[in-house]
């Protein structure tokens, strides 16, 4: 590698792509999708409208949305072979491993699997977004000895997800909170999983292969797995009177608090501020206000000591848990949202592609003479 090069660990601050999708201002704590502020989108737009915005470039008209909803609804069923595969998988398998395998299987059944034209990739984006939700819920029910539920055409993706998971139609408050969380997670610039998908697509591999790689990256606790870690922390604490002692001991043991701090945001994650109020409403409606109250007190105690700011995963944890989502499905839920952003980034990558091939700074031994085996 050239001597003038400079190592930037973790590629922090490195600009690796141009995009029209996500405007992330970490210094001022602002986030927008294609020019629309995240607060407006989360509070006023549906996840389906946001997916249309990301893929098509604009929010849909009523006629466009009706047509788009029909396309998404038609794409919800998953192949019967996938149900059979779920039944053969070990019941204790991490659902993210299952989702990664599911993505590959869906690719095997997709009629456009190897077609990288924009038209084909738009069709695959719609199918993947609808099928992710169906697959996650079907696997969860099968692993628990239940029959998977067919999606209901008249329900939104958010409402359908909760229905297919629990067997009950969710309330309006619950649906809105969950839908908003899907909007908040839908796109986030070149995070680890999105960058992974673009690296794979840059080789001109297909969309399903790229998305499967994104699922693998999202699985990590430093990325999508943070919400699960937050909820396990809240469950470990258990009651409000134990928060102070827990935090003091955690700091003494140099324990890391997941769901706090962010690589890019220095002025706070705007998604966390939006989700906090929605989490409170959902937790109180479902009679599980303890988890919200615990999160608030934990946040106050930690920030008073170390000035750490919660990110979006911190308040999504009590929200997801209170509406009936098992802890090990938190990360698959994020994938069911981020699939919209992943595929939007892939559409960009394919349209203006260049192989992503960075360099490494070699620090090993200098060149050596080879020694034959008999002389070593």
Residue with tokens 């204790």: 92
When pLDDT is cut at 50, 70 and 90, the band that residue 171 belongs to is very high
CA distance 130 to 339: 10
When pLDDT is cut at 50, 70 and 90, the band that residue 12 belongs to is confident
Average pLDDT estimate for 144-167: 96
Give the 3-state secondary structure of residue 360.
coil
Distance of CA 262 to CAs 18, 22, 252, 277, 278, Å? 22, 17, 22, 20, 21
Q: Is CATH 1.10.230.10 the right assignment for the domain spanning 226-322?
A: yes
Q: In this predicted structure, which of 1-15, 196-210, 250-264 has the lowest mean pLDDT?
A: 1-15
Distance of CA 376 to CAs 366, 368, 371, Å? 19, 13, 6
CA distance 29 to 306: 19
CA distance 224 to 221: 6
Which DSSP letter does residue 153 get? Answer: T
Kindly tell me if the per-residue pLDDT of 4 is higher than 70.
no
Average pLDDT estimate for 178-207: 96
Please list the active-site residues: 262, 313
Spacing of C-alpha 288 from chain mean position: 24
Closest CA to 269 of 28, 14, 12: 28
Q: What percent of the chain has pLDDT over 90?
A: 82
CATH class of the domain at 22-218+329-351: mainly alpha
Query: 3-18: b or e for each residue (b if 16 or more CB lie within 10 Å)?
Result: eeeeeeeeeeeeeebe
When pLDDT is cut at 50, 70 and 90, the band that residue 8 belongs to is confident
Average pLDDT, the chain: 93
The reported pTM is: 0.92
CA distance 295 to 20: 35
Is 143 exposed, middle or buried, given 0-12, 13-18 or 19+ CB atoms closer than 10 A?
A: middle
pLDDT of residue 36: 97
Show me where the domains of the chain are located: 22-218+329-351, 226-322
CA dihedral 184, 186, 188, 194 (to 10 degrees): 150
Order across the sheet with 30-33: list the strands.
Answer: 22-25, 30-33, 36-37
pLDDT of residue 326: 96
CA distance 350 to 309: 36
H-helix segments, the chain: 38-44, 47-56, 62-74, 80-88, 95-109, 118-143, 157-166, 172-185, 192-202, 207-218, 226-237, 243-252, 270-285, 289-306, 312-322, 330-351
Tens digits of residue pLDDT in 255-273: 888 888 777 887 788 999 8
Spatial contact of 301 and 237, defined as CB atoms under 8 Å apart: no
Tens digits of residue pLDDT in 305-358: 887 888 888 999 999 999 999 999 999 999 999 999 999 999 999 999 999 999
């Amino acid at each position: 590698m050239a001597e003038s090069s400079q190592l930037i660990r973790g590629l922090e601050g490195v600009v690796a792509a141009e995009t029209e999708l996500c405007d992330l201002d970490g210094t001022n704590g602002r986030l927008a999708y294609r020019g629309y502020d995240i607060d407006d989108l989360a509070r006023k737009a549906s996840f389906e409208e946001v997916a249309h915005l990301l893929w098509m470039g604009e929010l849909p008209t009523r006629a466009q949305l009706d047509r788009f909803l029909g396309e998404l609804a038609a794409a919800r069923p998953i192949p019967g072979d996938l149900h059979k595969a779920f039944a053969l998988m070990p019941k204790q398998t991490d659902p993210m491993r299952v989702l990664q395998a599911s993505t590959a299987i869906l690719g095997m059944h997709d009629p456009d699997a190897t077609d990288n034209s924009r038209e084909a990739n738009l069709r695959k984006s719609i199918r993947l977004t609808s099928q992710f939700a169906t697959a996650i819920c079907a696997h969860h029910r099968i692993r628990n000895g239940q029959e998977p539920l067919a999606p209901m055409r008249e329900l939104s993706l958010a409402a359908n997800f909760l229905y297919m998971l629990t067997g009950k139609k969710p309330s309006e408050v619950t649906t809105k909170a969950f839908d908003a969380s899907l909007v908040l997670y839908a796109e986030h610039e070149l995070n680890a999983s999105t960058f992974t998908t673009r690296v794979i697509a840059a080789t001109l591999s297909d969309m399903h292969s790229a998305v499967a790689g994104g699922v693998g990256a999202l699985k990590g606790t430093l990325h999508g797995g943070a919400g699960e870690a937050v909820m396990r922390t809240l469950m470990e604490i258990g009651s409000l009177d134990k928060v102070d002692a827990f935090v003091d001991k955690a700091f003494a043991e140099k324990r890391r608090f997941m769901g706090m701090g962010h690589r890019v945001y220095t002025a706070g994650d705007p998604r966390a501020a939006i989700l906090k109020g929605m989490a409170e409403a959902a937790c109180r409606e479902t009679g599980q206000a303890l988890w919200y109250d615990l999160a608030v007190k934990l946040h106050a105690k930690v920030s008073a000591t170390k000035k750490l700011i919660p990110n979006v995963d911190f308040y999504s944890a009590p929200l997801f848990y209170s509406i009936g989502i098992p802890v090990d499905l938190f990360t698959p839920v994020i994938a069911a949202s981020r699939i919209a952003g992943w595929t939007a980034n892939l559409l960009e990558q394919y349209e203006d592609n260049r192989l992503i091939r960075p360099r490494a700074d070699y620090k090993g031994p200098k060149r050596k003479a080879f020694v034959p085996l008999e002389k070593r």
